[in-house]
Amino acid sequence: MSRQPPGAPEDYRDGLRQYRRVLVIIVILFALGGHAVLLLHGPLTALTWFQLVAVVVFVVLTLRQFIGPFPPAGRPPWLVLAIILALGIALVVAGGRSSGWIPALAFAGAACGRYSRSPVPAVTASVVCAAAGLAVAVRYHYGSGNIFSVALIGPLAALLAYSAGRRADALDSLRRTRAELARAAVTEERLRIARDLHDLLGHSLSLITLKAELARRLMAADPDRAGLEIAELESVARQSLSDVREAVAGFRQPDLAGELAAARQLLDAAGIASQITAADTGQLTRDIDSALAWAIREGTTNVVRHSRATQVAIRVTAGPDAAVAEIADNGPAAEEIAPGGGPGVLTAGPDGRAAAPRARPAFAGSGLAGLAERVRSLGGELAAGAVEPHGFLLRVVVPLTPQA
């Protein structure tokens, strides 16, 4: 079962960026710091002092570039990148026959590639690093393995950093686009609801206004006619209220598949292991599908808010006569609950054993009461209560054929 990362998505991305920065710092210090320490154990010549100063400046500038914000704001710092590239090449040249400074070419090429908005700077850094590495390899007669390393490590690092930078740009653009699309979808939905309500109520309210004005004018001259107009006005107002209720119910009508997916997401986010199964539910009528969806929503919400459970099993089945939804958790013992505040009647738990009431503060409220009303309107039954040896079970049974 997949788990969502803790916290908001933006917090998760910030954590990954911090992890990458720490990793880059460790790699650069490990690759170059060790060779700098070795220089202190030898004679401190002018070349040695140059290498020590160069490696310190190189590491500081490189770390500043890699652990800074990305994508960077404004134009790339070309002067700093040029200094990094020059120091990386100088360290390899000054190292002579020592191949320990070869990683400096990789870090210099990667720094140039990371901030390149076009392939030209990355390619330029690749060519310069490769040429410098080959010149040093030929001058000091490197072996074939070292020649291969100095020729390819700079270009590979530059091009990989460039591709990573472009991918980061693309992901950032994608996130902004997704946020804009979400806002546009919300705005469009609001406009649709406003348009539907306007179309639904415009005619009715206009008719109500006209009949009210007519009844007011006729009140003194023709009371009987005024009474008739008021009666018709009442009829129009009742029909308008019914239309609004149906429209709002249609806007808020849940579906079973969506609620099952939302339940899994909610339980995962709460750190509760879930096992969700739904069989033979594709042919349910809209009313039955909606009733089971409300049961899944209410049961899952109660589990997350009140149960202190670590595991939840949600099962939805549709037999020849009835559709059943069950939400069972392994939380602490709870007092049996029935909608309306009375004791619940639960004949059996999920394993077939009789359920026994046990002490835990009841959390039955308007949610379960409203769910029971929905289920009863379809001729179904709702039961909720504790099960042995521990846990709580909410069970909804809705017949597939209409009942009184």
What are the structure tokens assigned to 104, written together?
Answer: 């400096």
**Do the beta carbons of residue 108 and residue 88 sit within 8 Å?**
yes
**Is the four-CA dihedral 141, 146, 149, 154 of positive or negative sign?**
negative
Q: What is the pLDDT of residue 395?
A: 93
Q: In whole angstroms, what is the distance from residue 404 CA to residue 402 CA?
A: 7
Domain boundaries, the chain: 1-252, 256-399
401 CB-near residues (< 8 Å, 6+ apart): 321
Q: What are phi and psi of 331, to 5 degrees?
A: -70, 175
In one-letter notation, the amino acid at residue 389 is P
Q: In whole angstroms, what is the distance from residue 156 CA to residue 32 CA?
A: 19
Q: Which of 261, 293, 279, 266 is nearest to 4 (CA)?
A: 266
**Do the beta carbons of residue 373 and residue 310 sit within 8 Å?**
no
Residue 382: strand pairing partners: 396
Cβ neighbours, 10 Å, residue 30: 10
In one-letter notation, the amino acid at residue 94 is A
**Is the four-CA dihedral 158, 159, 165, 168 of positive or negative sign?**
negative
Q: In whole angstroms, what is the distance from residue 51 CA to residue 36 CA?
A: 8
What are the structure tokens assigned to 398, written together?
Answer: 């809705």
For 272, the enclosing helix (H) or strand (E) is none
Query: How far are the Cα atoms of 221, 234, 237, 240 from residue 215, in angstroms, in the given order?
Result: 10, 12, 15, 19
User: What superfamily in CATH does domain 256-399 come from?
Assistant: Histidine kinase-like ATPase, C-terminal domain (3.30.565.10)
Q: Which of 382, 355, 357, 356 is nearest to 369 (CA)?
A: 382
Model pTM greater than 0.75?
no
Q: What is the pLDDT of residue 249?
A: 65
Q: What is the pLDDT of residue 316?
A: 93
Q: In whole angstroms, what is the distance from residue 89 CA to residue 105 CA?
A: 6
Render each residue's pLDDT in the chain as its tens digit; 404 residues. 444 444 445 666 667 767 777 877 787 777 777 777 777 777 777 877 887 888 888 888 887 777 765 555 556 677 777 888 888 878 877 777 666 677 887 788 887 777 666 677 777 777 787 777 777 777 777 777 777 777 777 778 888 878 877 887 788 788 888 888 888 888 877 877 776 676 667 667 777 877 788 888 888 888 888 888 888 888 878 888 887 777 666 655 678 888 888 888 778 767 788 899 988 777 888 888 888 988 998 888 888 877 888 899 999 998 888 999 999 998 876 444 444 333 333 333 334 333 333 334 344 445 778 788 888 988 999 998 888 778 889 999 999 876 54
Q: What is the pLDDT of residue 2?
A: 41
**Is the four-CA dihedral 129, 132, 135, 141 of positive or negative sign?**
negative
